[in-house]
Structure 1
């Protein structure tokens, strides 16, 4: 057991007892006064002890194991002292009868001497028989004193027989009693309790207890999402947290009677390395939990965004080149969570295997050992034939995973432990052609690639075999967009590519499902998915650095020079397709030309499309949506057309003329008169005919004709497109400066998200603006009430019935308040090369209600006309891209004007930053 450093500095029990004796001996004090003084003495001792333990932990960057033990020691001394005072001075007796004997036990986490700063204190008041008036008085006095001290005390008062009965019927009570520890009172009661617990509860029930605890663990994992790679993990309850270590401890204590996991190593149940790993993981998680409690001032177990930086600082994590302190801390957290997962899987499986009941009947062939490619198979598990198999033939460290994947087998827990013990041998395999062949075959296997790679990663083989991958294991990018660690994201991306190839995502990814059957460089594609984020966290552009890694690694993996070049190119450009689709206007021919010049060949276009889809879908469960799929498909088809010469066919005017003719034919079929058709065709400038498809243009024509006939000054029309995953909101009204800004403000008030906007001014001076919007969950807006409210708010905003600035300022942010910890530096980028006819302005900032309204209002103040807008949100970061012209309909090329635009936009963004900082300071003060 850990020795308490300078225990009297935590609590001086001798001085406290002396002070209590003086109070008890003072004849001038009445009972109430005496109790108040006793309570004050205990409060002072508790306060002093709590402050001392806190100081040691926070000021000295102390360890979690010291903190929980010292907190436990403090409470132990107070309870023992309180018990002695109670039975000596408050309810003194002469010779106690048998029924008046009493023992106080610590149970639960307190029983195993694990007490975080604000944890509950669980006590069991143990009686020999039924409760007596004396025992009731003692228990009541102690509990009220403890509660008045501000401690959260859970308690039960039972005799030994009741304890045995309840332990048999309730696994939670049985577990709490397993951890019981004698504090004070009759030692013989505790001895009797402990002996009967071992004889009546533990004996013969070991595997039943194991099964219940493992089932309990699985239920908890499923309830909490079954992932150790979540944005804001619960240090206690989530997968890879303290509760998983508790499960191991409970099982070990129940089966082997140990109180320290190191004893299992002495008993050769667990290796020394595994026992050390357990202690280190436990100490780290204790440290994190204690820091959370101290910094939040409450029993907080969730490592929220706003607490992650504070905890990292408290535990001494500092910024370094390429990684912030909080990112280094969270990487350490996930590495520990992974270690806990490894321990849980291997240790629990070993215990289950060693202690499992043998079925009375089993099929003779089902469990018969058989040989398979140099390994032994029993049932559904594969194992090595000898303990020295890896040492004599290290390549088996990979081949066993290869054989398990090929035949759909699990790996025996004892063999997994041997793998862990022999990880040092993996280094010698990096230059082994056979080992590299096996790895690539596992990567590109048509089935189970994801589960096999995850198994390799959890066993520690993956990161040892490919050290560059080992550098991103458990690496977390500190933002709200990236849900998983880099290694988990990569493995999930490979799994998505696997499912695309199997046709399992044909409904969601129809284009990718077609393309994956056509690509010639299948092996290069899988390796590119593996390596696309391999260089994250190195302090530079991870695409450029990753391309260099690919150039060195691919030949080692056995790829040809052509495949190596393809992989390197894909890694270098793996973000370019999504950037183009989401931040540029794909209706602009220059966008397509630029992207076509980048990809150069249909094969690269197909490979990049597949890699992009896998990458985006693997970021998180809510990141992909139909609208993004639509944008990527449009970019693919238009680029494919450009690569085959389609884009250059005919001038801009000729293509616009063809679109007008298509609409003419459509309107004739719809019964329009020749005069009405000509009047309508005269309304559109060439940009209008090139921006929308014929179906949309016919809808616009009907809307405009109805509005003109009715004499409406404003028309708002909504049309949901389930295939694209958006709702198109079309506004037809007289054009005027600031129109676009007012519309965006109204949409923000209504609670919808703008993902795309096309702004058209017709030859008649009327505006035809089309906004593609989504609900907060990334789907089309379909609720009729919400759509009606949206149209109503737009009408009120444009008619001046709503003061947009005031309404938007009062609107709460859609992001949780704790996410204010994220800082998004404002950024304005002006690009005059992305389009031949427009200036492209990209604005980056922190997401909030009214962001788009403020930015577009600033553009209006600069006298700019907005033609189109692409709006993308990446967690807390919003990226808005605008295609604009000046008041004369020209690109903005004058340096003075460009400077004015940049400064105006930056002033707008910096004003929001200042308001955000002020809000955080006000919130902290409150």
Structure 2
């Protein structure tokens, strides 16, 4: 984009000062006005489409004029002192609110000179520059550079602005000293710094609020490549690195294009935030997208999503090439080794794989995939040689998406997939080299594709890679303690490549405007046929893609203790092969969406659904056992547990006579045994509050046994909210003697883990005190909404239906602190009883389902439904305004 003409105001005429007299008040005012005029001119030029890099250079030039003027006014023409720009200023780049980093290099300390320097820096601050400065002599500079590689690195960028030219020669003697941070040591420390920096940002370029400067693939990565080029290859810029063979022209163009995008975003972010903000916070993303001209295409391709995709693509390209170039620097420093043959087409040089024939990839494109297969078979290989990577990228660029229709390439790709779990590492590396998108053009479309919500914390391509890695974990026996059922299933899979393909395609159609599962199914069928797979295999992969959300939604939104729910799910799955594959894909998908989503409760939930569905699929003709059989079976197992603990059968039977049948149909025998023991141990004392920190359901279980009353559910929900405990499930039952038999499955709100023993005891004591005062009305606590949630508040959706003599209420809305407590209070005040609740949260989106009745245990009529609807909407809208 051409740079818009920019006319910067000239320096004002300043009164001639007596040397070292400083800058007068009038002169400071004039310089402050000048700086403001420059920044306003640059802002206007950026708004009119000027290039951000050119504007950052222009601002650096303008600030340099001001800094030099102030230095001269304060110090005059001195010897043994010079002022250097360092950091971004040293590289000639200043964004709207960047720090102005300066190094004053001085000779022997003189009090008058130090006072003049203090006056100089104070003046620069006074006129509006955010100055970071250091005052050192050459001995101090050398000592600090010896100790700290970051100081040494800052000197690489140092640029003299004004002062004694001989000081520059002294500074260069430090950076050119071969004994100071020699190449191998400098490379090691830079890579260690990179790894530590990336770890602070979750080791991925795909955070929802990424850091443009210091995050993986950010501008700091590009700076680091230039620093390495200077120190290791005497290459000052990317052009020099091309001449040295460290970059090819196409890679240089990619880096420069990505850098231009990142700089454009950074310039806009500084303007939007009004300060030196480097994080693309939710607070700014929508405004930045609009400022930079991105518009909503449809509800599944928002302007803000397009804007963020631009960032993610640029950052991931920088990150990928940054890793590869660092490997080239490592290779450059490695001693030469004799080549060892690897099959017919490859050789290894130490830890790196190389091609025998430099023209192999151009002559036979299938070798692009075979190179990754060969790498898997060679232990100790850490990468490809620099020349091989270059030729790989050149061939990929030449053939591009023609690879997607090359039968030999597709045959090699299928051979790779058939390796099973080891293929995942190769797929991950192929993605880093851009080869996967060439073979799967649809995958290239979701490269850098984000979804503007708090549920999906990675872009689609990164999420897919993580799902594949999770799948590969199931092949590792060491993971059996974490995923016992999954690790048991994996060795039984006749064709694990089908699961890998389903993982590759399950989200491949995101952002197209339709149902991504349906569109992804079509893509999977087309690709399976291009691969030449048997039609039944293609259809199985397509089915998994189409229904990859089925198991998760069934488990979290429906009551899987209901045989009818399980039977419907079993009919949809149809056979155990599909069930096993879907189970593995579901677990991998949940963990790959966000590590925080997986917990013991979901693990147990999916395991229970898998087990009950396998039972239902044993025979097509077999019907679920009737309620009486299931109740008796539960009682027998629970009694065995209780008798082993020393409880008498007749005492247990007396307790159970008051239990409703639903207790035995909807609870595990272990839960029934635990509840029964608690009741017997209480010897009639109420309210009874029992807490099991780690129940059989994978969560903390709360059992409340007390005389039933309206508002009990609300009182419990309010107390749980005050204790920052999230409700996963609630089952509200009543005994024939008028006692509440309420069960809640809980997780800590922050960690989504079961409560500790100490927290469980705190819950027990505080809830017991609250329930001991039945006349006291507790109100939900009011807590402010997090900054993140404020940006994702959508219109609530509420729907009613009737099932089994009760009203089913479906609530879909944006999450906020205290939501369940507030909803429970509204239901109580509306004369509604809660009998069952299933709570599901997906990022900022809540999907809660309640079984409710009026206070006569009858379904809600239309009038009461309407009254409840209005009350809930009023409560939710009030919370949104707050």
TM over 0.5: yes
Over 3 Å counting, the alpha-carbon distance change for 1:875 and 1:616 in structure 2 is same
Could you tell me how far apart the structure 2 residues matched to 1:770 and 1:203 are? Answer: 67
Cα distance in 2 between the residues matched to 1:665 and 1:390: 68
Q: 5 Å matches for 1:376-395? A: 376-395=347-366
Cα separation, 1, equivalents of 2:10 and 2:772: 73
Question: Which range moves more in the overlay, 643-652 or 873-882?
Answer: 643-652
- CA distance in 2 between counterparts of 1:145 and 1:808 reads 51
> Is the aligned partner of 1:402 residue 2:373?
yes
What SS does the aligned partner of 2:852 have? strand
Taking the aligned partners of 2:286 and 2:518, their CA distance within structure 1 comes to 29
Map 1:805-884 onto structure 2 (within 5 A).
805=779, 807-809=780-782, 811-813=783-785, 816-832=786-802, 836=804, 838-861=806-829, 863-884=831-852
Is contact 2:421–2:475 with CA below 8 Å preserved after alignment? no
Deviations 1:23-59 (A, max 9, x none): x59xxxxx89x722222122111222222223333x3
Tell me the C-alpha RMSD between the 2 structures. 3.0
CA distance in structure 2 between the partners assigned to 1:169 and 1:271 by the alignment: 35
Correspondence list, 1:211-230, <5 A: 211-230=188-207
Instruction: Give the match for residue 108 of structure 2.
Output: 130
* 1:486-542 C-alpha deviation (Å, 9 max, x unpaired): 112112212222220232321121111222233344332221122111111111111
1:550 equivalenced with 2:512 (yes/no)? no
Cα displacement string for residues 414-455 of structure 1 (whole angstroms, at most 9, x for unaligned residues)? 211222222231433322333222213323424433321111
Q: Rate the CA distance shift 1:56–1:804 in 2: closer, same or farther, 3 A.
A: farther
1:300 aligns with 2:264: no
Q: Which of the residues 637, 652, 656 maps onto 1:681?
A: 656
Query: Residue 280 of structure 1 corresponds to which residue in structure 2?
Result: 257
Could you give the per-residue CA deviations for residues 612-649 of structure 1, whole angstroms, max 9, x where no partner exists? 11111211222111110111111112222222359735
Question: 1:173: how far off?
Answer: 2.3
| Distance change >3 Å, CA 654–CA 374, structure 1 → 2 | closer
2:822–2:875: 8 Å Cα contact kept in structure 1?
no
Structure 1 residue 348 displacement after superposition = 2.7
Q: What TM-score does the superposition give when structure 2 sets the normalisation length?
A: 0.92
Aligned to 2:213: 236
Cα separation, 1, equivalents of 2:664 and 2:818 = 31
Q: Give the C-alpha shift of residue 901 in structure 1.
A: 2.5
Q: Which residue of 2 aligns with 1:28?
A: none
d(CA) in 2 for partners of 1:873, 1:449: 33
Residue in 1 that maps onto 2:389: 416
| Alignment partner of 1:37 is 2:38 | no
Change (3 A) 1:523 1:177: closer
- How far does residue 147 in structure 1 lie from its aligned partner after superposition? 2.1
Mapped pair 1:582 → 2:556 = yes
- State the alpha-carbon separation in 1 of the partners of residues 408 and 807 from structure 2: 55
Equivalent in the alignment of 2:54:
66
- Answering whether residue 590 of structure 2 is matched by residue 608 of structure 1, we say no
| Contact 2:603/2:698 (<8 A) preserved | no
In the other structure, the counterpart of 1:439 is 413
Matched residues in 1 for 2:776 and 2:153: separation? 61
Deviation at 1:902, TM superposition (A): 6.0
1:706 positional shift:
4.4
| 2:79–2:164 CA contact under 8 A, matched in 1 | no
**TM-score, normalised via structure 1 length:** 0.88
Against the structure 1 CA distance between its residues 884 and 717, is the aligned structure 2 distance closer, same or farther, given a 3 Å change threshold? same
Which secondary structure does the structure 1 equivalent of 2:377 belong to?
helix
Instruction: Assess if the C-alpha contact under 8 Å between 2:789 and 2:815 holds in 1.
Output: no
- Distance in 1 (CA, whole Å) between partners of 2:436 and 2:263 is 28
Q: Which moved more, 1:573-582 or 1:173-182?
A: 173-182
Separation of aligned partners in 2, 1:492 and 1:674:
51
SS of corresponding position for 1:868 = strand
Change (3 A) 1:11 1:596: same
Q: SS where residue 254 of structure 1 aligns?
A: helix
Quote how far apart the aligned CAs of 1:769 are.
0.2
Shift of 1:804: 3.3
Aligned to 1:261: 238
Is the Cα contact below 8 Å between 1:430 and 1:465 reproduced in 2? yes
Aligned to 1:86: 74
1:904 shift after superposition: 2.5
Contact 1:855–1:905 at 8 Å: present in 2 too?
Answer: no
Match of 1:121 in 2: 100
Deviation string, structure 1 residues 316-335 (Cα, Å, up to 9, x no partner): 22211331112112221111
- 1: distance between equivalents of 2:649 and 2:256? 85
Moved more, 204-213 or 573-582: 204-213
* Distance change (3 Å), C-alpha of 1:317 and 1:149: same
Contact 2:138 2:171 in 1 (8 A): no
Change (3 A) 1:553 1:910: farther
Post-superposition shift, 1:255?
4.4
| Residues 456-605 of structure 1 aligned to structure 2 (within 5 Å) | 456-605=430-579
Which residue in the other structure is 2:778 paired with? 804
Query: Residues 10 and 802 of structure 1: is their aligned pair in 2 closer, same or farther, counting only changes over 3 Å?
Result: farther
Cα distance, 1:555 vs structure 2: 1.2
Q: Give the direction of change, closer, same or farther, for the CA distance of 1:3–1:463 in structure 2 (3 Å limit).
A: closer
Number of the residue aligned with 1:56: 45
Does residue 731 (structure 1) correspond to residue 704 (structure 2)? The answer is: yes
Structure 1 residues 181, 226: closer, same or farther in 2, change over 3 A?
same
Residue 858 (structure 1) shift: 3.6
3-state SS in 2 of match to 1:808: coil
Deviates more, 1:644-653 or 1:852-861: 644-653
**What are the residue-to-residue correspondences of 1:881-900 with 2, within 5 Å?**
881-887=849-855, 889=857, 896=862, 900=864
Q: Which residue in 2 is equivalent to 1:92?
A: none
CA distance in 1, matches of 2:680, 2:328: 76
The 3 A distance-change label for structure 1 pair 443 and 722 is farther
| Cα offset, 1:891, TM superposition | 5.4
Contact 1:206 1:255 in 2 (8 A): yes
Matched residue, 1:12? 10
Shift of 1:585: 0.8
Deviation at residue 890 of structure 1 after TM alignment: 5.3
1:160 Cα deviation from its structure 2 partner: 4.5
SS at 2:582 equivalent: helix
**Distance in 1 separating the partners of 2:645 and 2:326:** 72
Quote the Cα distance in structure 2 between the aligned partners of 1:122 and 1:671. 76
Match for residue 308 of structure 2? Answer: 330
Match of 1:172 in 2: 150
Give, in whole Å, the separation in 1 of the partners of 2:394 and 2:191. 25
Task: List per-residue Cα deviations over 1:167-212 (Å, max 9, x = no partner).
Answer: 444322222121121212333543x336534654599944543343
Q: 1:866 to 1:278 in 2, by over 3 A?
A: same
Greater Cα offset, 368-377 or 329-338: 368-377
- Distance in 1 between the 2:170 and 2:504 partners? 57
Q: Deviations over 1:678-714 (max 9, x none)?
A: 543321222222122333223323333444x44x341
Change (3 A) 1:155 1:857: closer
464-473 vs 480-489, greater mean Cα deviation: 480-489
Q: 1:630-709 alignment to 2 at 5 Å?
A: 630-644=604-618, 648-660=623-635, 676=651, 679-707=654-682, 709=683
- Count of matched residue pairs: 875
Specify the SS of the correspondent of 1:780: coil
SS at match of 1:721: coil
After the TM superposition, which of the residue ranges 574-583 and 133-142 deviates more from structure 2? Answer: 133-142
Report the more deviating stretch, 325-334 or 433-442. 433-442
- Deviation at 1:812? 4.2
> How far did residue 749 of structure 1 move?
0.9
Shift of 1:375: 1.4
Residue equivalent to 1:908: 872
Q: Deviations over 1:444-481 (max 9, x none)?
A: 42443332111101111101110111111121122222
SS at match of 1:445: coil
SS at match of 1:804: coil
Cα separation, 2, equivalents of 1:173 and 1:204: 11
**Residue 93 (structure 1) aligns with:** none
Other structure's SS at 2:566 match: helix
Contact 2:420 2:496 in 1 (8 A): no
- d(CA) in 2 for partners of 1:198 and 1:469? 45
| Contact residue 846 and residue 876 of structure 1 kept, 8 A | yes
